[in-house]
Chains A and B, each alone.
Chain A
Amino acid sequence: EDQVTQSPEALRLQEGESSSLNCSYTVSGLRGLFWYRQDPGKGPEFLFTLYSAGEEKEKERLKATLTKKESFLHITAPKPEDSATYLCAVQAKENYTITGNQFYFGTGTSLTVIP
């Protein structure tokens, strides 16, 4: 059973064209939801952690929001340097133990911003 689903799989935007990426999750108890940026051939770069519904975080042109079933990563007036794959991950309360804290990762949204 998929715990985290990201959509769309790929997104092409013109420079300056704002849009949103979606991350839906099915875990019953959310401990945290994480957004990462990954450039080709590199490790994921941490962006945000969201803990509870209604929470929002911002960084430059990126804004992450969280509801009880999904998170959105809003990209305002994107630039070509925002092109990357954006990964979402969740940590579920039922999987948290003193010795383990498994994350469930989505397969990502590949964003291309065209100049």
Chain B
Amino acid sequence: SQTIHQWPATLVQPVGSPLSLECTVEGTSNPNLYWYRQAAGRGLQLLFYSVGIGQISSEVPQNLSASRPQDRQFILSSKKLLLSDSGFYLCAWSLKQIKPYEQYFGPGTRLTVT
């Protein structure tokens, strides 16, 4: 069965500091991968998605970036955090063989920028 991991689970960072969140998927190969942000009282906002190694598409302009160095690894980064970057960050995966693409989420990372 497939499993998705995210770390860290919680993070408190000062404004202007760098960020690196990691997501890995086990039990499948060549998945689609996604980064979402969930703010309190708001829906999930898609930040990035990837259909393969090195292939990243951005959905919204921001000071965040994403990378996919390995097939089942997805990284969310920032060089300098803003207060507005606080939120709950979720990684998700989906299979390419099944349409529509059902997405399965990881446990999330709670980021607080102070």
Given A32-B100, A102-B59, residue A107 in contact with residue B105 (CB < 8 A): no
What is the minimal beta-carbon distance from A2 to any residue of chain B, in angstroms?
9
Interface flag for A43 (CB, 8 Å): yes
Most chain B CB atoms below 10 A, which of A4, A31, A101: A101
Q: Is there an interface contact between B100 and A102, defined as CB atoms closer than 8 Å?
A: no
Q: A91 to B98, alpha carbons, bound, how many Å?
A: 13
- CB 8 Å contact bits of B86-106 with A (1 = contact, 0 = none): 000010101000011111111
Given A101-B32, A102-B46, residue A42 in contact with residue B107 (CB < 8 A): yes
* Set A44, A49, A96, A106: member contacting B105, Cβ < 8 A: A44
* Set A91, A105, A108: member contacting B100, Cβ < 8 A: A91
The residues of A with any CB-CB pair to B shorter than 8 Å are: 4, 31-32, 34, 36, 41-46, 49, 51, 87, 89, 91, 96, 99-103, 105-108
Contacts of A44 in B (CB 8 A): 44, 90, 105
* Set B49, B59, B102: member contacting A49, Cβ < 8 A: B102
Q: A102 to B101, alpha carbons, bound, how many Å?
A: 9
Q: Is there an interface contact between A107 and B41, defined as CB atoms closer than 8 Å?
A: yes
Q: A99 to B49, alpha carbons, bound, how many Å?
A: 9
Q: Is there an interface contact between A45 and B105, defined as CB atoms closer than 8 Å?
A: yes
Contacts of B49 in A (CB 8 A): 100-102
Interface flag for B108 (CB, 8 Å): yes
Q: Is there an interface contact between B90 and A107, defined as CB atoms closer than 8 Å?
A: no
Contacts of A108 in B (CB 8 A): 43
Q: Is there an interface contact between B59 and A34, defined as CB atoms closer than 8 Å?
A: no
Chain B residue nearest to A2 in the complex (CB)? B43
